Structure 1
Amino acid sequence: MGIPVENFFLKPDTKGTLQARIQQMVAEGILSGRFRRGEKLPSSRKLAKHLGVSRITVTLAYTELLSNDYLSSKGRSGYFVSDDAPTPPTFDATPERADSVDWTRALGRRFTGYATLVKPQNWQDYRYPFLYGQTDPQLFDHAHWRLCALQALGAKDFAALTQDYSDQDDPQLVEFILRHTLPRRGITARPDEVLITLGAQNALWLTKQALLNESRLAVIEDPCYPALREILMRARCFVHATPVDKDGLPPDQIPEGADVIFVTPSHQCPTSYTMPLARRQALLARARDLDALIVEDDYEFEIAHIKPPMPALKSLDADGRVIYVGSFSKSLFPGLRLGYIVGSAPFIREVRALRASILRHPPGHAQRTTAYFLSLGHYDSLVKRIGKALNDRRVIMEHAIRKYGLTIAGKGTHGGSSFWMRAPDHVDCEELTVRLREEASVLIEPGTAFFAGPNPPRNFYRIAYSSIAQARIDPGIAEIARAIDATSVT
């Protein structure tokens, strides 16, 4: 591979002849590791023109570097970094620079310090990965996704791949969502009532920006999706965390003055409780009495492998006060980062303008590839295959949980991909998570981050069965049980 000529520049503070300065520039590039063995240098003519020097000066510098084994010459092919060139140091050769900026004063706002869920990037290297939300490579339809991606690269879809949609979305993807995805949830909508987002989290952020300010009150579930709580805290609005029960968010516990209610009725995050129909209707009535809006995060409705999902809140909404958030992250793969918002046209118009000012639109190729994967039937086949596999794993995991005496605090009645667990009161699941990861190659998620308040309970944890092979579920649960039993009472 050739080294771009733009990578070469003469530092104004270096001393010596032009030839010596060029030699030093190339040698430093090799010694720092920026120029690697076998890479081709620019021709003497091209480098001379770029640096504004004579060609003979560059040629003489190259010749000297050749004699010192920094470079090698291959006939008429040019000059290359020699295989015998000095080996770059293994440490970071970038010189340290003094940072004189006082960042505690310079930063107008801070976005760190909130509770987050940390997932190892190399989670697949662990023997028992009970991690939520990761894709099982054994289940994903690589072949058809690749074909759809190639189809989206074709000449017929050149505009979808390359054009600037401005504030619009891929019409094929929007049409599929309107005609196929939403009707499965009992929802009807028009194209101007749908916006494509970079996943559900981006949808929640856009919604927060449009609906909340420092004088408004947002209601969230407790426990809830940690990223949602962070988003709302950064909005500096008032936030009220309402404890959930086995039926989800209790409508009669929503305080007066609530402006926006965030809820996960299909699979409450993280308990997986499913809100029954009567409570859904009661929640809509409570929102109507308060003149509040509801944001329904329906992040996992496709994973209803036990029995069909309940009707979406949006499908029961006669007032237009429910904003529906969907995502392809759980049913396809989280790295896709595609989701959607469904709401009344005036609301969608505002969040569309906001999205355009930040990122214009999600990448066209990703949208068109997804549209093909959905419309050609591959998506439905994938969901069925995943559903069957998850149901089989769920049965095995539930049996193992009973077998080893662990306690389930919450599980989905319609499906899902995880169990919400409760350890004995004396167990700190943050410490348990570290011990299991380091000593038994087991990955679980501590539950602390899901709770609001300064002193959240520390004995909850979540274990998922979406990414772990069936044969490893039982021995993995056994490791968790052993680690809990080994935790002494203080």
Structure 2
Amino acid sequence: MAIPVETFFLSPQTQGTLQARIQQMVAEGILSGRFRRGEKLPSSRKLATHLGISRITVTLAYTELLANDYLTSRGRSGYYVSDNAPEPHSFPPRPDPDPAARVDWSRAIGQRFTGGATPVKPLDWSRYRYPFVYGQTDPALFDHANWRLCAMQALGVRDFNALTQDYYDQDDPELVEFIARQTLPRRGIVAGPDEILITMGAQNALWLTAQVLLTQRRSAAIENPCYHAQRDILVQSRCRLLPITVDEDGLPPDAIPADTDVIFTTPSHQCPTSGTMPLKRREALLARARALDALIVEDDYEFEMAYLQPPMPALKSLDTDGRVIYVGSFSKSLFPGLRLGYLVGPAEFIREARALRASVLRHPPGHIQRTAAYFLRLGHYDALIRRAARSLTERRRVMEEAIASHGLTIAGRGAHGGSSFWMQAPPGTDTEALALRLREKDVLIEPGGPFFSGAEPPANFYRLAYSSIPAARIAPGIERIAAAIGALPTG
């Protein structure tokens, strides 16, 4: 029996090269039981015509499946599902459970981690024409070729141990050395290897920090508005939360309560307002922490995006007491799927964070660490940052002009750079409803409600990022946003 060519289609959600996607499509058909042993596949010419791709691509995919014994070739007759192909598992039907014996999960769950304010972002954001989404990678800016070369180098025989060995609770020494000798000195920070811990992105670093420093009897001051995932992490730690309203310069030190144990702040680019904390306020914040004998957790995300002016000194670089824990990330500046960050702090703190990390995930994958180390060490990272800075400068200029021409209100912008604007719609505007309406018009924005603490956060704030949208599309996108805001009922 021949398998109809119409049953083959390439899903837009599938990742990888065309050849790999065809291999996956055929293999999934076999593993699911849709394609059975002995059935004939469409010819390479017929399938290529049906899919609108090159015949050689189909031929290479069939050849790989032949080598893996998913397919077999019968002379000039064509390709067939191999008799040795894996068979789909057959499981007996599960019996209906006894209602009286069914687990009551509302009682069985001892601690809940759902219910936070973290918004759901569309995974297919790139198919929208006007994606004002934050934190995604622009393929036009990313250096795919050199990242691939670094990954291949990390797969080489010379790096076999870095690829395969279990580091237990340690990290790739080459990546740690680069961070200590190159990355941190740019922020004025001096740290040894025992004061650096590699993490699965900044969010993992914040979680480790909260677990080590906070208990139910301790209090944490957070910015309001703030990074919503950070607030969720602190809620899960069961500490007492103290939201502090930020102004245009970030967190005001005088507003921090006297019973604060740990202060969480984003001084380089306040999240989400993008405000940069001035030097005098940084010094005042350190003095306030010293007076309270409190610790400071500095999330220094996006410090590389200071393309308008040189970045301000990191809080950690001004700290003479050892009370600042520094959080950095390569996921923001390289690509979010990398999930690679780092913690910097006193050796006593890092030792505890390392032990906690080891009990959860041992260490981030060695191959990822070594690939990143090569990308950094060979200068590709700095070249990427310079290229991104030029592009973001132009996009920011275009967006500022478009926002002004359409009478929209900027509530916060980074004086030193950044990649987004914090916007304020007219009073009474529901930006959740606005976002849904704009999605139908091929525009993506980020409602601001999840960034605020409290049961009734303001509904008329939203964030517009320009890191993932070409400059030529910014003005038409802003025009659609302005038109949608004007059409929404207020009150």
TM-score for both structures, normalised by structure 2: 0.82
> Is the alpha carbon distance of 1:40 and 1:231 closer, same or farther for their aligned partners in structure 2, counting shifts above 3 Å?
farther
**1:153-172 correspondence to structure 2 within 5 Å:** 153-172=155-174
**1:22-421 correspondence to structure 2 within 5 Å:** 34-37=32-35, 98=96, 100-421=102-423
Distance 1:125 1:244 in 2: 35
Query: What one-letter code is carried by the residue in structure 2 that aligns with 1:102?
Result: D
CA displacement 1:89-142 (0-9 Å, x = unmatched): xxxx99687563221111111111111122100000001000000000000000
Q: Does structure 1 conserve the Cα–Cα contact (< 8 Å) formed by 2:224 and 2:243? A: yes
Q: Does structure 2 conserve the Cα–Cα contact (< 8 Å) formed by 1:400 and 1:477? A: yes
Q: Does structure 2 conserve the Cα–Cα contact (< 8 Å) formed by 1:36 and 1:81? A: no
Distance 1:264 1:374 in 2: 24
Distance 1:395 1:220 in 2: 31
> Is the alpha carbon distance of 1:321 and 1:118 closer, same or farther for their aligned partners in structure 2, counting shifts above 3 Å?
same
CA displacement 1:36-62 (0-9 Å, x = unmatched): 426689xxxxxxxxxxxxxxxxxxxxx
Map of 2:456 onto structure 1 = 455
Distance 1:111 1:412 in 2: 32
Map of 1:446 onto structure 2 = 447
Query: What one-letter code is carried by the residue in structure 1 that aligns with 2:477?
Result: G
Distance 1:283 1:384 in 2: 31
Distance 1:226 1:379 in 2: 28
Distance 1:145 1:242 in 2: 41
Distance 2:161 2:453 in 1: 46
Query: What one-letter code is carried by the residue in structure 1 that aligns with 2:482?
Result: A
Shift, 1:80, TM fit: 6.4
Distance 2:126 2:143 in 1: 18
Q: Does structure 2 conserve the Cα–Cα contact (< 8 Å) formed by 1:32 and 1:94? A: no
Q: Does structure 1 conserve the Cα–Cα contact (< 8 Å) formed by 2:172 and 2:370? A: yes
Contiguous gaps of at least 5 residues in structure 2: 1-27, 40-70
Distance 1:141 1:303 in 2: 17
Map of 1:17 onto structure 2 = none
Range that drifts further, 453-462 or 104-113: 104-113
CA displacement 1:201-232 (0-9 Å, x = unmatched): 00000000000000000000000000000000
Are 2:480 and 1:479 equivalent residues in the alignment?
yes
Distance 2:475 2:292 in 1: 48
Map of 1:428 onto structure 2 = 430
Map of 1:61 onto structure 2 = none
Question: Paired residues, what number?
Answer: 422
Helix, strand or coil: the match of 1:478?
helix
Helix, strand or coil: the match of 2:221?
strand
Q: Does structure 1 conserve the Cα–Cα contact (< 8 Å) formed by 2:29 and 2:35? A: no
Map of 1:52 onto structure 2 = none
> Is the alpha carbon distance of 1:314 and 1:108 closer, same or farther for their aligned partners in structure 2, counting shifts above 3 Å?
same
Distance 1:333 1:31 in 2: 32
Map of 1:19 onto structure 2 = none
Distance 1:463 1:364 in 2: 35
Query: What one-letter code is carried by the residue in structure 2 that aligns with 1:37?
Result: F
Q: Does structure 1 conserve the Cα–Cα contact (< 8 Å) formed by 2:30 and 2:36? A: no
The structure that has the greater radius of gyration is 1
Shift, 1:489, TM fit: 2.6
Shift, 1:35, TM fit: 2.5
CA displacement 1:257-302 (0-9 Å, x = unmatched): 1000000000000000000000000000000000000000001100
Q: Does structure 2 conserve the Cα–Cα contact (< 8 Å) formed by 1:193 and 1:348? A: yes
Distance 1:299 1:351 in 2: 20
Helix, strand or coil: the match of 1:302?
helix
> Is the alpha carbon distance of 1:349 and 1:436 closer, same or farther for their aligned partners in structure 2, counting shifts above 3 Å?
same
Query: What one-letter code is carried by the residue in structure 2 that aligns with 1:242?
Result: I
Query: What one-letter code is carried by the residue in structure 1 that aligns with 2:35?
Result: R
Query: What one-letter code is carried by the residue in structure 1 that aligns with 2:488?
Result: T
Range that drifts further, 454-463 or 32-41: 32-41
Map of 2:469 onto structure 1 = 468
> Is the alpha carbon distance of 1:482 and 1:154 closer, same or farther for their aligned partners in structure 2, counting shifts above 3 Å?
same
Query: What one-letter code is carried by the residue in structure 1 that aligns with 2:444?
Result: L
Q: Does structure 2 conserve the Cα–Cα contact (< 8 Å) formed by 1:39 and 1:81? A: yes
Distance 2:482 2:426 in 1: 11
> Is the alpha carbon distance of 1:137 and 1:96 closer, same or farther for their aligned partners in structure 2, counting shifts above 3 Å?
farther
Q: Does structure 2 conserve the Cα–Cα contact (< 8 Å) formed by 1:219 and 1:260? A: yes
CA displacement 1:66-89 (0-9 Å, x = unmatched): xxxxx99969xxx96599xxxx9x
Distance 1:98 1:346 in 2: 54
Query: What one-letter code is carried by the residue in structure 2 that aligns with 1:360?
Result: R
Helix, strand or coil: the match of 1:108?
coil
Range that drifts further, 390-399 or 100-109: 100-109
Query: What one-letter code is carried by the residue in structure 2 that aligns with 1:106?
Result: A
Query: What one-letter code is carried by the residue in structure 1 that aligns with 2:474?
Result: I
Q: Does structure 2 conserve the Cα–Cα contact (< 8 Å) formed by 1:178 and 1:189? A: yes
Contiguous gaps of at least 5 residues in structure 1: 1-29, 42-70
Distance 2:120 2:92 in 1: 29
Shift, 1:199, TM fit: 0.1
Distance 1:207 1:250 in 2: 22
| Aligned Cα root-mean-square deviation (Å) | 2.5
Shift, 1:459, TM fit: 0.1
Distance 1:72 1:207 in 2: 55
The alignment-based identity, stated in percent, is 68
TM-score for both structures, normalised by structure 1: 0.83
Map of 2:16 onto structure 1 = none
Distance 1:248 1:330 in 2: 20
